[in-house]
Structure 1
Amino acid sequence: MKSHAAVFAVDVGYGNTKVAFRNGSEVATLIFPSLTPTYQEQTIAIESQGLLTVPKTVAIEWNGKTYEVGPGVPLSSRNGDAGGTLADNYCTTDSYAALLGGAFHFANIDSVDRMVLGLPVKNFHKYAEHLRQTFTGKLDFGNTQVTVGRVMVLPQPIGALVNFTKYHEFDQENPHLIIDVGYFTTDWVVATGLTMDERRSGGHQSGASHYFQKIAERIKAKLKASPDGIERIDKAVREGKKYLLAGQDIDLAPYRAESQPVIDGTVKIIHNHIGHTEDLRSIVLTGGGAALYASTIRAEFPSTRIDMMSNPSFSNVKGFFAAGEVAMMREKPRKEGVAA
C-alpha cells in the first residue's frame, strides 16, 4: 500500500537520482542510476522459477514512452552516448520525468504535500518555474500515480549548505564556500549563514563525467579500442579497480594522470570567480565527485580549512529535505493564524 509524505526530496542528478523522505522518526534515503533505457520486460527471468534474478527496475511511462528505471538498470544501457542526458536542459527531458516517477515508485509514495527539487546554479532562474509548473498536481507515470501539492526548487549547493548547518559546526558570521562536484556540472555558493552571495556564486559545465570522458578518450587513443560508455570507468575509478575492455584488465592510473587537467581547470575557474578567499571560514566540499576533486581543491586553497561532507552523494538531497520541513514549519503558524 502506497503512503503519503509531507516532504519528499529528490535530487535528479546526471549520474544518480537520490531521494530523501521521512520514515517514522528517521530520514530514509535511496539511490539509483540516472539511466532510462526503453523498457523491456524480463520475461525469461520472471519465468525461471527463481533461478535467475529479476533486475530491480520498474516501467515508467511519460509523454507516450515507457522507460526502465531503477537500481537494476545496466550501467552500459546508455551505450556510450551520454548526449541525451548530459545537457543543460536535462530537467525538461522525458528522462528526468521518468527518473522522478521512479523515485516515487521505489519510495512507495503516491502523494506529497511538498516536493523539493534542485537545479544547477547557472540554470536555476531559467528552469525553476518549469519544474514547479510541470510537477505540481496529479502526475501520471503509468502504473505509478502521484499527487504533489507544491514544488519547491533550490539551487543545488544550497542543499549541502542546509545539511552542513544542521549537522556540523557552522560559523554564522563569516562566509563559507560550498563546492558541489556533480556529474555534469560543478556548482559553488558563497554564503554567510543562509544568505547567498550571488556575485561570487556560480556553476561550470564540467563535472565528474567530463573527467571520465577524458579518460575514455585517452584509452581509445592509446589502445585503439572504444570504451562502451563512461559509467563503468566511473565504477572502476571509485572502487580502485582495473577496467575491463576487450578482454584486458586496464590499469587506469596513467589515464587518470593524463586527464587531470579537466579537474585542474575547473578548480581554477572557481577560484577566479570567487575572487579573494581571505574571508572564508571553510570550504564545504560535497557531491558525488567530491573525492575526485579534493586533493586539487586543497592544493588550490592551502590556507582554507576543507570540510568534507560525509556521504557526499546524499548531502544535497538530505539538505533539500531539511529545507522542505523548515519551510512547512514556518508556514504552519501563518495557516493556524488564518484559521483562527
Structure 2
Amino acid sequence: MSTNTIAVDVGYGNTKFAFPLGADVAASMFPSLAPTRSASSLASHGGGYFQARDVVHVTVDGAEYEVGPDVSITSAYGNNGRTLSEDFVTTPEYAALLFGALHYSQARDVGQLILGLPVHTLQKYAGALQERFTGAHDFGAGDVTIKRVVALPQPLGSLVTFMRQSGKELDPDDNCLIVDVGYFTTDWVVARGYMMDDTRSGGVPGGSSRIYKQVATLLSADEGGEPTGDIERIDKALRQGKLMRYYEKMVDLRPYFEVAKAQCQMAVKEMQTRVGRTEDIAAIVLTGGGSALYSGAIRAAFPRSHIVAMDSPCFANVRGFFDIGSARQARG
C-alpha cells in the first residue's frame, strides 16, 4: 500500500505509530520488546483450539526477531529483547520494532517516515536514522520502500498535539513547557507557539524504568534478597493498579512506589536548572507514558505553575508527528 506519511515513535517502553486509515488517522502501539524468534509455534499444533499470538517475525542483519502486541513480556533470566541504552536507535532491535510498526501499518511504499528521538540524542543520531532507513528494505515480511526519513525531537509531537487541542486558549506571547516522561528518558521543550527555545529545552536519561527498577530492588530486599528483575510486570501492575503475583502471593506495589518515586528527582532537578524561572510559562504540559508517575515531583518542583495532563499521553507525540508530516507533504 502506498502511504504519503507514517509516523513512528520507537520508544524504550512502547512502539507507537500513526498512519492513514481511509479518511481517518489510526494510532496503535505494542511493547518495545524484540526477542529472538521462537523456534516453533505450539498454537499451530493445537488443532485450531489455541489462539495464535499476534506477532510478526522480522529479519534484521540475518537474525530473526518477533515483535507485536502479543510479544511475551517475560522470558528466562530476563532476556526479553528490551534495550535500555542511549545508542538504542543503532541496534537491530530498534530496526525490528520499526519494521514491525510498518508491517502493522500495512505500509509498502512510504513517502515520508517521521521518527522521534530524545532531545539530548537528536543531533547525534538523526543523520544515522536517515541514512539507515531511507531506501528499499526486505525485513522478511514484505518489501518496504521509504523515500524520505525525518527525525524530530520527541516532545515536539506533543507540542503540536497540545496546540491543536488547546492552542486557541493561549495568548500568542505565552510560553509552554512540554514535559515528556518516557520509559528511559525525560525530555522537555519550552516553546512560544511553535517556536522552540533551545536554551531552555533539553533531556536526560531517567524515565519510568528507573522507578520500576527501584521497586524491584525494594521488593527483593523484603523477600530476603530473592532476585526480582521482572520490571515489565511491575510496570503493568502499577499502570493498571493491580496486585502483582510473586511466587505464592499477590503483592501490593504501591508502598514500594511511594519510596521509589524519589528516583524522579534527578531528572526533575535537571529540568528546573535548564528551564529556570517559570513566571513566563502559561502551562506545563505533561505527556508520555511515565507522566503520571512523575507528576507529583513536577508539581512539587513548580508549585505556582498551571499544570495540564494530556489525554492519551502515550499517543500525543506520534499523532503530532503525523500532523507535522502531513503539513510537510501538503507544502510539497
Normalising by structure 1, we get a TM-score of 0.93
Preserved CA contact (<8 Å) 2:30 2:68: yes
Q: Are 2:110 and 1:112 aligned?
A: yes
Stretch moving more, 217-226 or 15-24: 217-226
Pairing 1:17-166 to 2, within 5 Å after superposition: 17-77=15-75, 79-80=77-78, 85-166=83-164
SS in 2 for 1:281: strand
Corresponding letter in the other structure for 1:275:
G
Superposition deviation, residue 41 in structure 1: 4.9
Pairing 1:1-340 to 2, within 5 Å after superposition: 3-77=1-75, 79-80=77-78, 85-170=83-168, 171=170, 172-223=172-223, 224-331=225-332
| Alpha-carbon separation, structure 1, partners of 2:226 and 2:43 | 32
Q: Percent identity?
A: 44
| Alpha-carbon separation, structure 2, partners of 1:244 and 1:234 | 13
SS in 1 for 2:268: helix
| Alpha-carbon separation, structure 2, partners of 1:150 and 1:79 | 39
Superposition deviation, residue 267 in structure 1: 1.6
5+ residue gaps, structure 1, are 332-340
Preserved CA contact (<8 Å) 2:16 2:28: yes
C-alpha distance 204-304 of structure 1, shift in aligned 2 (>3 A)? same
Stretch moving more, 310-319 or 227-236: 227-236
Preserved CA contact (<8 Å) 1:117 1:153: yes
Runs of 4+ in 1 over 4 A off after TM superposition: 81-84
| Alpha-carbon separation, structure 2, partners of 1:231 and 1:112 | 32
What is the CA deviation profile of residues 147-177 of structure 1, one whole-angstrom value per residue up to 9, with x for unaligned ones?
0010111001001001111122353322100
Normalising by structure 2, we get a TM-score of 0.96
C-alpha distance 320-272 of structure 1, shift in aligned 2 (>3 A)? same
| Alpha-carbon separation, structure 1, partners of 2:54 and 2:165 | 32
| Alpha-carbon separation, structure 2, partners of 1:176 and 1:311 | 19
| Alpha-carbon separation, structure 2, partners of 1:228 and 1:144 | 36
| Alpha-carbon separation, structure 2, partners of 1:82 and 1:265 | 28
| Alpha-carbon separation, structure 1, partners of 2:81 and 2:18 | 28
Q: CA RMSD in A?
A: 1.5
| Alpha-carbon separation, structure 2, partners of 1:209 and 1:118 | 19
| Alpha-carbon separation, structure 1, partners of 2:30 and 2:77 | 18
| Alpha-carbon separation, structure 2, partners of 1:137 and 1:325 | 20
**How many pairs were matched up?**
329
Preserved CA contact (<8 Å) 2:60 2:95: yes
Corresponding letter in the other structure for 2:198:
E
Corresponding letter in the other structure for 1:245:
Y
C-alpha distance 131-98 of structure 1, shift in aligned 2 (>3 A)? same
5+ residue gaps, structure 2, are none
SS in 2 for 1:255: helix
Preserved CA contact (<8 Å) 2:9 2:15: yes
| Alpha-carbon separation, structure 2, partners of 1:228 and 1:202 | 30
Preserved CA contact (<8 Å) 1:35 1:77: no
| Alpha-carbon separation, structure 1, partners of 2:132 and 2:93 | 14
SS in 2 for 1:85: coil
What is the CA deviation profile of residues 267-288 of structure 1, one whole-angstrom value per residue up to 9, with x for unaligned ones?
2221121111110010111000
Superposition deviation, residue 255 in structure 1: 1.0
Corresponding letter in the other structure for 2:73:
L
SS in 2 for 1:54: coil
Superposition deviation, residue 253 in structure 1: 1.9
| Alpha-carbon separation, structure 2, partners of 1:83 and 1:147 | 26
Corresponding letter in the other structure for 1:219:
L
| Alpha-carbon separation, structure 1, partners of 2:88 and 2:139 | 18
C-alpha distance 325-79 of structure 1, shift in aligned 2 (>3 A)? farther
Superposition deviation, residue 83 in structure 1: 9.2
Preserved CA contact (<8 Å) 1:282 1:306: yes
C-alpha distance 81-255 of structure 1, shift in aligned 2 (>3 A)? farther
Corresponding letter in the other structure for 2:240:
E
C-alpha distance 122-19 of structure 1, shift in aligned 2 (>3 A)? same
C-alpha distance 324-77 of structure 1, shift in aligned 2 (>3 A)? farther
